[in-house]
Amino acid sequence: MARVKVFSTGICPICEKTKALLTKWGIPYDEVRVDTDMTTRREFTKITNGARTVPQIAIDDKWIGGFTELTELHMDNELDDLVE
């Protein structure tokens, strides 16, 4: 199974919604908090090419975007291929 990372903060409601959807869809993920650790913040900046908003999602260390891009991949039936 692919390794899904959700880059988030502790006060982000869309991050919570993203994690709830992944759970609902049965997709395991690792949450990476960028507000508590500078090492994870550097990883976040590198993977996302300097994104400044959360959530940001990476699958196998390939950045796919945020909540909108995640739901679009799901609606277009492309998400399953990425996480299998």
Residues 27-73: tens digit of each pLDDT = 999 999 999 988 989 889 999 999 999 999 999 989 999 999 999 99
Q: Give 2's pLDDT tier (boundaries 50, 70, 90).
A: low
Q: What is the pLDDT of residue 35?
A: 94
Does the pLDDT at position 1 exceed 60? no
pTM over 0.85: yes
Quick check: 50 and 56 in contact, CB under 8 A? no
For residue 55, whether the previous peptide bond is cis, meaning omega lies within 30 degrees of 0, is yes
Confidence band for 84, pLDDT divided at 50, 70 and 90: confident
